């Protein structure tokens, strides 16, 4: 039997700490850093693809005889599908592992980029942008889950902050690269560039990525396996005989290999490793809806998903409408616009890294004050320091844009808005993982889906609202919305533990 995972004295055993072979939690720091670097690099590429097209829109519209509405559709559908398709990739990763999903999705993304680059009609381009979005979504769906596979909860805030900084910087670098490629070559060069990046990332995952998924630690896998056992589909004995495994035998092996029920927080019984080797689950076993419905039945999850989605919608709306403001009132070209938006990306990146570290420090401090016992909601305490400054920074940005002041003021306010926004989001992202033990991939997929829908809606209404209200009114409205989002986070901070424990107890009663 492999060595047990070293745990803190007061940490309770749960499904995430089930004993497994080649435990990713005890890999070397260097090996974990390679995984972090690979996943973050993939997120950077995906982040680039979101709006690298923007500087090329004028050329695309002219050469493909497209309307502004069709160009807008190619952008908004990309973001929508990128969010929604995460639920499919996440469900597959909980049955077939992370690496297979990364490879399939990156191949799809690269193929979509090739066809976009050679498209002769706007219709084909829109369809292939949808394919691109579907392929790129897997990194968002399971990147955080991959880090949850290898890092303990006390480390996740910092690592999630580092991981999430890459896709935040991508949208800011995208317009710069898109502008350079479009101006020096053509709009098609933008997508050939994505083809090259997609191919490189695919090769890196193929040769250097070690799968972090462990079936014993996945509730989705365990529940699918349990269905097979209960339906008498296990035709070989655990020890190699030809008789089906009896319930008694399974219970005896569970008692030998797993912690006692008092020590285990996970609701479903963990099937022994020997039994897992006897059953080969396949794609027909992929059913995303039961785990997603369980996650959405937890009130704390539903409430925390909303501010997370609104935060992404704000970010997408800011990048989208700022480009219009700079082009209209400052006569900036694509490259100059990209350089200004880089201040927002840098603010997001620094806010993600520092916010994640502060989240871990806050969790450690509160755990020590609580006798060495922690719970996920403690992590949200770290958001308070940024909550005071986030809405005022949005209002500041609103009115420096409205009054068309010097560009340096816009850069400063963009930096602050990005910094405080992602400081808050880094903690909520880590909370979503910590609060959904054994279901982190599914929880992050739902979060990405909600973010995608929110960004799609923001993309569709941003321009009409900006034209009707001006930057001042539009972003003052956003400040009010984000203040409401902060209140929802505080609600989870103070009531989430009670709601979460009640939901877990209800699930136990239902499975009993």
pLDDT digits (tens, 9 = 90+) for 302-360: 899 999 889 888 887 887 788 778 878 888 877 787 788 888 888 888 888 888 888 88
Asked whether the predicted pLDDT for residue 266 surpasses 80, the reply is no
DSSP one-letter string for 359-386? HHHHHHHHHHHTTT---GGGGGGGGHHH
- The torsion defined by the Cα of 133, 434, 351 and 322, in degrees rounded to 10, comes to 30
Q: How confident is the model at residue 388 (pLDDT cuts 50, 70, 90)?
A: very high
231 in a structural domain: no
Using alpha carbons, list the distances in angstroms from residue 155 to 25, 150, 498.
Answer: 11, 10, 24
Q: How confident is the model at residue 397 (pLDDT cuts 50, 70, 90)?
A: very high
The radius of gyration computed from the CA coordinates of the chain, to the nearest angstrom, equals 24
The angle, 0 to 180 degrees and rounded to 10, between the axes of the packed helices 29-51 and 299-329 is 50
- Per-residue confidence (pLDDT) for residue 491, from 0 to 100: 93
Number of structural domains the chain divides into: 1
pLDDT digits (tens, 9 = 90+) for 88-135: 888 888 778 889 989 999 999 999 999 989 888 888 988 988 899 888
The backbone region for 438, taken as left when phi is positive above 0, alpha when psi lies in -120 to 50, beta otherwise, is left
Average pLDDT over residues 58-80: 80
104 in a structural domain: yes
Of residues 255 and 127, the one with the higher pLDDT is: 127
Residue 270 CA to residue 292 CA, distance in Å, equals 19
- Per-residue confidence (pLDDT) for residue 280, from 0 to 100: 58
Taking the alpha carbons at both ends of the chain, their separation in whole angstroms is 30
Residue 16 CA to residue 207 CA, distance in Å, equals 27
95 in a structural domain: yes
Ranked by mean pLDDT, the top range of 34-43, 243-252, 430-439 is 34-43
- Which of 1-5, 221-225, 425-429 is least confident? 1-5
The pTM assigned to this predicted structure is 0.73
Asked whether the predicted pLDDT for residue 47 surpasses 90, the reply is no
- Per-residue confidence (pLDDT) for residue 41, from 0 to 100: 85
Asked whether the predicted pLDDT for residue 507 surpasses 90, the reply is no
Q: Tell me the CATH number at 472.
A: 1.20.1250.20
Of residues 37 and 216, the one with the higher pLDDT is: 37
- Which of 10-14, 121-125, 208-212, 252-256 is least confident? 252-256
Q: Please, are residues 119 and 87 in contact by the beta-carbon 8 Å criterion?
A: no
Mean per-residue pLDDT over the chain, rounded: 78
Q: How confident is the model at residue 448 (pLDDT cuts 50, 70, 90)?
A: confident
pLDDT digits (tens, 9 = 90+) for 142-161: 887 888 888 887 777 777 77
- Per-residue confidence (pLDDT) for residue 479, from 0 to 100: 93
280 in a structural domain: no
Of residues 111 and 242, the one with the higher pLDDT is: 111
- Per-residue confidence (pLDDT) for residue 111, from 0 to 100: 92
Asked whether the predicted pLDDT for residue 141 surpasses 80, the reply is no
Asked whether the predicted pLDDT for residue 2 surpasses 70, the reply is no
Q: Which residues form the domain of 359?
A: 29-216+287-510
Q: How confident is the model at residue 202 (pLDDT cuts 50, 70, 90)?
A: very high
């Amino acid at each position: 039997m492999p060595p047990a995972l070293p745990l803190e004295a007061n940490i309770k055993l749960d499904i995430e700490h089930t004993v497994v072979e080649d435990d990713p939690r005890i890999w070397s720091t260097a090996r974990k850093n390679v995984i972090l670097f690979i996943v973050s690099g993939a997120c950077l590429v995906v982040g680039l693809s979101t709006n690298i097209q923007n500087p090329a829109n004028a050329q695309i519209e002219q050469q493909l005889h497209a309307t502004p509405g069709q160009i807008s559709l190619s952008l908004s559908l990309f973001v929508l599908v990128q969010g929604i398709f995460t639920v499919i990739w996440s469900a597959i990763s909980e049955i077939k592992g992370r690496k297979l999903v990364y490879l399939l999705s990156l191949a799809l993304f690269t193929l979509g980029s090739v066809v976009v680059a050679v498209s002769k009609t706007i219709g084909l381009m829109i369809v292939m942008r949808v394919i691109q979005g579907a392929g790129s979504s897997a990194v968002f769906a399971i990147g955080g889950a991959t880090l949850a596979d290898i890092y303990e909860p006390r480390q996740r805030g910092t690592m999630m902050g580092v991981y999430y900084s890459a896709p935040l910087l991508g949208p800011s670098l995208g317009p710069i690269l898109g502008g350079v490629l479009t101006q020096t070559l053509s709009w098609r060069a933008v997508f050939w560039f994505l083809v090259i990046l997609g191919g490189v990332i695919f090769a890196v995952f193929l040769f250097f990525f070690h799968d972090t998924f462990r079936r014993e630690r996945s509730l989705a896998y365990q529940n699918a396996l349990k269905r097979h056992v209960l339906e008498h589909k296990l035709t070989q004995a655990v020890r190699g005989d030809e008789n089906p495994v009896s319930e008694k035998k399974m219970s005896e092996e569970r008692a030998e290999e797993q912690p006692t029920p008092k020590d285990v927080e996970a609701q479903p019984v963990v099937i022994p490793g020997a039994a897992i080797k006897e059953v080969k689950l396949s794609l027909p076993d992929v059913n995303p809806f039961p785990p997603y419905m369980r996650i959405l039945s937890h009130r704390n999850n539903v409430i925390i998903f909303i501010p997370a989605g609104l935060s992404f919608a704000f970010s997408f709306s800011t990048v989208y409408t700022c480009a219009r403001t700079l082009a209209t009132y400052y006569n900036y070209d694509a490259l100059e616009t990209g350089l200004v938006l880089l201040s927002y990306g840098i603010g997001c990146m620094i806010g993600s890294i520092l916010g994640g570290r502060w989240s871990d420090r806050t969790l450690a401090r509160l755990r020590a004050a609580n006798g060495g016992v922690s719970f996920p909601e403690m992590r949200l305490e770290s958001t308070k320091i940024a909550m005071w400054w986030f809405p005022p920074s949005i209002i500041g940005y609103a009115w420096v844009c409205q009054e068309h002041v010097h560009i340096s003021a816009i850069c400063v306010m963009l930096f602050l808005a990005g910094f405080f926004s992602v400081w808050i989001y880094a903690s909520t992202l880590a909370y979503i993982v910590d609060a959904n033990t054994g279901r982190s991939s599914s929880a992050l997929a739902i979060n990405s889906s909600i973010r995608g829908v929110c960004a799609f809606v923001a993309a569709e209404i941003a321009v009409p609202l900006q034209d009707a209200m001006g930057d001042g009114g539009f972003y003052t409205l956003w400040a009010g919305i984000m203040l409401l989002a902060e209140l929802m986070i505080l609600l989870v901070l103070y009531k989430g533990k009670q709601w979460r424990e009640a939901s877990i107890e209800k699930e136990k009663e239902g499975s009993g």
